[in-house]
Amino acid sequence: MELLKVLEEYQNSERLAMITGEKKITYNQLWEQSDKLAAYIKSTCGQDKSPVIVYGHKDPLMLVAFLACVKSGRAYVPIDINVPRSRIENIIDSVCPKLILVTEKFTQYKEYPCVNIVRDASIFEISANRDSDCRISSLDYVKEEDVYYIIFTSGSTGNPKGVQITYGALNRFTEWALNLGYGGIKNHKHQCFINQAPFSFDLSVMDLYMSLASESCLFALEKQVQMDYKKLFEQLKKSNANVWVSTPSFADLCLADLSFSKNLLPNMELFLFCGEILTNKTVEQLLHRFPKAQIYNTYGPTESTVAVTEICVDEEINERYNPLPVGVAKPGTRIKILDGDRELPEGEKGEIVIIGNTVSKGYFKNEKENQRAFFSYVIDGKPTPAYRTGDKGYFQDGWLFYCGRIDLQIKLHGYRMELEDVEKNLMKVEGITKAVVVPVYEEEKVKYLKAFCIYEKEFENSHKLQKKIKEEMSEFVPEYMIPRKITFVEEIPMTANGKADRRRIQEMN
């Protein structure tokens, strides 16, 4: 499947491609406006292939911007409004874009040119000539090996890492994902997909491209809607969606309200989960409240295009396994459990390594991390791209099982972060000379973060100081990375080889 060719086929379609609140866009408008914006990008940025940053939230014009970047031969770098300014500046400095497209309020940074495509509609009034130039060349311009998007994720250095995903990888992922559920979405076009994740998280790639490739409608839930039960349930009802894509945490949040059931969403037939542990309890509740729906657990990192394994979890699987399996690898992917370079047999726990045709080209301008995480593995005599996930896992009954991390990466409410990233940013706060952050677990999932800090200045009130630190931290990291509890200590327990003793710290109050 070639995504842009498929979208070209829908170019005259009056069907809705996306709805966000009162804003809507049809397939026809999406195609035409992205053609025009692509011509604009080409004329301003010239012929090179430097990436374009797209800043905003869930405005349908975000899709126009993504497609326009790609049609102009450039990767897009989505940044959501949740990302704090200093992190955005960090990403901009590493990308050095020739253009930043925005759909929300944005203050220009350094000399980087920035265009608000909601306000500056004149961009879409580009001459017909240029328009057709772009239209003819754009589709041939995007090659399999070209980078289609770059998504920045948390990095242990305190700076985010940009994962580059090619057009070929995205096509192969989408083609596979379209086979999930009731004989495959591809046989049932014109669905309505719920979009929960912001576009700067790769989970959104699943709903966005499955939806676009099947001429379906993406029904986006904005941040402020997700934070308000009343608005959220009104929107869900209005959507009448039949495909759900979210983290299990978001489904749990909805399940907390008893009205989240088939009465609210009578046509719901497919729940697709990825990004964190799917628990038996979540599945049990969903099967009970949506008896006609299928539930899929999928697994994978941003570094291998969203997801690489799948399993449909029915009542039988849910009763037989705890924890639940994450499934079998998609075609074109092999999964190995390695201990160093040694492959482990079924049943033994080791690092999950993904080998195959959706593995990323590597992190953007980050040779050191690339050397650590990406390598080549010979499969059937052919060197194939491989990625060390840092996830622990094992095979049983032919299924892959996930059982935690071998490093300090965690998931909190579906958000990926490195604990060292949180610590480095905590230490940016004046007065903090050392910080160690540990996750607090409840029912096998991380519930919140707890920080232990050495604060070298005098302070009177620990509560006030905690508040001040949290406020300062919010300048550097998104809200979900701010520890809920901060404890001030005189010293941090160390191991014999001079590292913070996380096991002992974990037990401290």
Query: Which residue ranges make up the site for ligand AMP (CB under 6 A)?
Result: 153, 202, 274-278, 297, 299-302, 326, 389, 391, 402, 411, 416
Contact of 294 with 269, CB cutoff 8 Å: yes
CA dist., res. 487 & res. 466, Å (int) = 8
Q: How far is the CB of 201 from ligand AMP (least distance, A)?
A: 6
By beta-carbon proximity to ligand AMP, the closer residue of 20 and 302 is: 302
- DSSP bridge pairs for 218: 18, 193
Q: How far is the CB of 278 from ligand AMP (least distance, A)?
A: 6
CA dist., res. 183 & res. 191, Å (int) = 14
By beta-carbon proximity to ligand AMP, the closer residue of 73 and 275 is: 275
Give the amino acid at 118.
V
Give the amino acid at 272.
L
By beta-carbon proximity to ligand AMP, the closer residue of 35 and 202 is: 202
Element holding 231 (H helix, E strand): helix 229-239
DSSP state of 48: S
390, 446, 449 from 437: Cα distances, Å: 19, 13, 7
Q: How far is the CB of 202 from ligand AMP (least distance, A)?
A: 5
By beta-carbon proximity to ligand AMP, the closer residue of 405 and 434 is: 405
Element holding 15 (H helix, E strand): none
Q: How far is the CB of 309 from ligand AMP (least distance, A)?
A: 8
By beta-carbon proximity to ligand AMP, the closer residue of 167 and 387 is: 387
By beta-carbon proximity to ligand AMP, the closer residue of 73 and 198 is: 198
Q: How far is the CB of 152 from ligand AMP (least distance, A)?
A: 11
The contacts of residue 479 (CB under 8 Å, 6+ apart) are 82
CA dist., res. 260 & res. 254, Å (int) = 6
By beta-carbon proximity to ligand AMP, the closer residue of 31 and 299 is: 299
Q: How far is the CB of 374 from ligand AMP (least distance, A)?
A: 14
Write the DSSP string, 242-271: SEEEE-HHHHHHHHTSTT-STTTSTT--EE
Q: How far is the CB of 70 from ligand AMP (least distance, A)?
A: 21
SS3 category, 438: strand
CA dist., res. 15 & res. 25, Å (int) = 8
By beta-carbon proximity to ligand AMP, the closer residue of 244 and 402 is: 402
Count each helix (H run) and each strand (E run) in the chain, helices first: 16, 27
Q: How far is the CB of 432 from ligand AMP (least distance, A)?
A: 27
Q: How far is the CB of 297 from ligand AMP (least distance, A)?
A: 5
Where in 179-242 does DSSP place strands (E)?
192-195, 217-220
CA dist., res. 61 & res. 80, Å (int) = 13
Q: Tokens at residue 150, please? A: 């770059």
By beta-carbon proximity to ligand AMP, the closer residue of 193 and 201 is: 201
Contact of 97 with 52, CB cutoff 8 Å: yes
By beta-carbon proximity to ligand AMP, the closer residue of 34 and 297 is: 297
CA dist., res. 377 & res. 351, Å (int) = 15
Element holding 342 (H helix, E strand): strand 342-343
Q: How far is the CB of 5 from ligand AMP (least distance, A)?
A: 27
By beta-carbon proximity to ligand AMP, the closer residue of 290 and 402 is: 402
CA dist., res. 347 & res. 328, Å (int) = 15
DSSP state of 325: P
Q: How far is the CB of 42 from ligand AMP (least distance, A)?
A: 32
Element holding 285 (H helix, E strand): helix 280-289
